[in-house]
Amino acid sequence: MTILDALIPPRGLKVLVTAGASGIGAGIARAFATAGAHVHVCDIDPAALDRLATRQQGITTSTADASVERDVALVFDDVRGTLGGLDVLVNNAGISGPTGPIESLEPAQWERTVAVNLNSQFLFARHAVPLLRQSRSSPCVIAMSSVAGRLGYPLRTPYAASKWAIVGLMKSLAIELGPAGVRVNAILPGPVAGERMDGVIAARAASLGQSVEATRDSYLRQSSMRRMVEVDDVAALALFLCAPGARNLSGQAISVDGNLEYL
């Protein structure tokens, strides 16, 4: 094997991407499919799933709410039927949650953010681990956290709390599953260009009483590189984490954020 071969995941991996019909999840799903993996994607949006499957051959899909145990169990029925096993779980499901000072937030907003961002990670890992233990293809879990999982994030406390918790879950699972040969890492993206980030910026601008343009500029100035992350930046790291060259990477929270200094 050459050093270049070590940077590319082996063909034929069986990969599940949660909330993978759009945004970062879709970018990761497309990247794995292009690299020769067998990819199954679940998402709450059936129309987005149809668009993804139409544009990228070889991807199978399930409609599911990642925070609902019954839906998750049905996804794994589909995974067994379509993939016949599992080598990689990309735990990507997440929502932005509410924007505002803590005293203005409703308990239901907090609970929904934690349910989607954190509980989904538990539910999918719980079902995936028995399959990953059976894999002979350097099995791994990639947990999608955020730069908000290492920094405080004023006015976005439910989101930040859930993303910090994902890092704790990842580090604990890395210790728990390491003896079985299962690696577990987290990716912590910075602000990712796209529709979701546009919505976050608009909500923050409204909360602060300033223009969208000024708020967007403040996000750019938070990063040493003065630019937002692209979906492909995150997808490239996900591929590498499943490549032979990453065989001793586990328990790591890896930021892709242009050196984001603060939020």
Residues marked active site are found at 159, 163
Please, which residues have CB within 8 angstroms of residue 128's CB and are 6 or more apart in sequence? 16, 76, 86, 89, 141
Decide: 125 and 91 in contact? Cβ < 8 Å.
yes
The secondary structure element, H or E, covering residue 52 is helix 46-55
Q: Alpha-carbon Rg of the chain, whole angstroms? A: 18
Residues 22, 196: Cα–Cα separation, whole Å? 10
Tokens of 8: 């590319």
Tokens of 84: 């016949």
Tokens of 157: 């406390």
